[in-house]
Amino acid sequence: MDDLARADIRERLRQIWLDPHSLNPARISARVTRQVADLLARLAKSIEGNTVESNTVAGNAVKGN
């Protein structure tokens, strides 16, 4: 019963009862994949307009710069 004092536990119980599909790992994974794809698309678009040579960008990415 002490756990019910924690907000995260109450939220998890609320999700179980009201929206159990939101806890489905496949849905969570798909949502994260979409978010990463969106972020990478925006990054690619921002680099696209850059005057830096693509080989320089790729080389720095590989080096971790």
Task: Output 16 or 58, whichever has higher pLDDT.
Answer: 16
Q: What is the pLDDT of residue 3?
A: 87
Residues 45, 40: Cα–Cα separation, whole Å:
8
Domain-located, residue 15: yes
Residues 11, 38: Cα–Cα separation, whole Å:
28
Domain-located, residue 30: yes
Residues 16, 19: Cα–Cα separation, whole Å:
6
Q: What is the pLDDT confidence band of residue 33, given thresholds at 50, 70 and 90? A: very high
**Total of domains in the chain:** 1
pTM above 0.85, yes or no: no
Domain-located, residue 55: no
Q: What is the pLDDT confidence band of residue 22, given thresholds at 50, 70 and 90? A: confident
Domain-located, residue 63: no
Residues 49, 60: Cα–Cα separation, whole Å:
17
Residues 47, 55: Cα–Cα separation, whole Å:
12
Dump pLDDT digits (tens) for 46-59. 887 766 566 666 66
Owning domain of residue 28: 2-48
